[in-house]
Chain A
Amino acid sequence: MKSLKRTISTVATVAFAAVAHADVGGDATRGEDLYRQCSSCHQIGAGAVDRVGPQLNGIFDRAAGQSEGFRYSDGMERAAMGGLVWTYDSLDAYIEDPRSLVSQTRMSFRGFDDQQDRDDVLAYLRLFSANPQDIPESAPTAVAVDHEIAPEILAIVGDPAYGEYLSGECTACHQTSGAANGIPSITHWPSEDFVIAMHAYKDGVRLHPVMQMMAGRLSNEEIAALAAYFADIE
């Protein structure tokens, strides 16, 4: 699989060499490594679907806010209405500092400061945009977080009313508007991703001390209730 991607990477580099700014020095293999920072929210590759963030196949030259069925932030909706299209330059600006390009985006990512990192990630992303038929037949990238929890925990149906009460503990930091600025957005996540993430904190797999403390005393039912509340919050 790696060799196939490398091959495609080479092809892509040649194919886009003439485009201004495109893929100058971008190393898709390195970009694939860097993309692990993105993959907890964004799937890419064959069978990729929207999760916490929209799937990213065919992102190049797609108008912003167009992954069908994904609930975008108001900020992204506004940017889309304003005609934002994902070109190399706009993607470059977005992954450098998401909130400076799209204020109030829910994307909780501080950005890649380094131009080489951005070039490499974009080279990797481009593999899945250049020619759809070339999308590698790999499984979609990492699903939610690397943490396994029992199916019966995932099957718990949460009570959103209880979740609303419990959410008071979350909203001292996380904004119900979905605005993210140093504290991630937790609104409109697929419930499963929310539950997995919270159990990852509870079980000490995710390492944030505040979240480990908060998740540590939530029962399975309480986590499900919070997931249900935040998934459909207005």
Chain B
Amino acid sequence: MSIFSTKKSWINLTIWVLLIAIIIAAPSVLPVFRLNLLGRYLSLAIVALGVDLIWGFTGMLSLGQGIFFALGGYCAAMFLQLNSSGEFPNGIPEFFGLYGVEKLPFFWEPFKSSIFTLISIWFIPAIIAGLLGYLVFRNRIKGVYFSILTQAALLVFFNFFNGQQKLINGTNGLKTDVTQIFGQMVGSEIMQRWFFWISAVLVILAWFFARWIVRDRFGNILIGIRDDEARVRFTGYNPVIFKTIIFSIAGGLAGISGALYTVQSGIVSPQFMTVPFSIEMVVWVAVGGRGTLLGAILGAVFINYAKSLVSEALPASWMFIQGGLFILVVTALPEGVLGWIRKDGLKKLLFLIGINKKLETYPSLEVNEQGEVK
């Protein structure tokens, strides 16, 4: 076991060193366009961490994380729009004029405050996820039914946001790149560099946070819920509370992720709540390695980077590649790329091609047991 854990930490350390090296080098090496893309993908890694917590650890496959992602994005966008609407008629964001709205809808008011916005970005998605989760978990809805329900919720939110022109500009969404913050355009190079740094730092903080949650007995209960919920109950734990908390945390992470993604992509719209996008979040985690937090980060960043590179070269082929990648991982690497590496996947592959020779017939576990009295 000790060998295993040292090896695991070596792999982790190597990946962290690489990741941090990339993050530090990126701003001076990459053109701002590429840097902006990397920043967006780092922000997506935060929502992926949440998906990993609820799916990889707790076994609840949510297909509706787009809801919380978009909510975080809208919170940020509303603040930015209000912050730079001084010169527009009535002092409210420009799009309201298109629909003849003269008075700011009431729920926009608190977003004039930057502190309220910074809190609401994670708090509102977390509360909504918590309420939704509590109702679902209390009624013991799980497995496929949970997945379908989250997807249905996603569609409800999508259609609602799409139809509310007078409240939030409906299907057009809220643009942020031409808004102002600290006297700068949000879409300007200097701000985009800042957002890159903020995303990078927040990914790392989110990882530490998630790591802290799953590190000890709390994480073990999550794994217990995934493997045998009845046993958890009969051991005296209330699974509903644990599931609600973790779903709420994942919602909060999705909100932060959505806000960072919005300011770096320049717009938030109901497109954040489309079905394929929420499924993609699951694919990142599956490919990176569910149950491995670092895998979720790697999956989100590398799949998205691959997506943009492939899409530039061969515009029509990305969906096929992504689908193929998903099938490959599900069939050949059920624990994802990182899970595979941790379980000596590379060594086994080398052995399969005939480069390495096999050492022992029985796993070391059984060899160790021989000396035991039984």
Partners in one complex: no
Q: Interface of A with B (CB < 8 Å)? A: none
Q: Interface of B with A (CB < 8 Å)? A: none
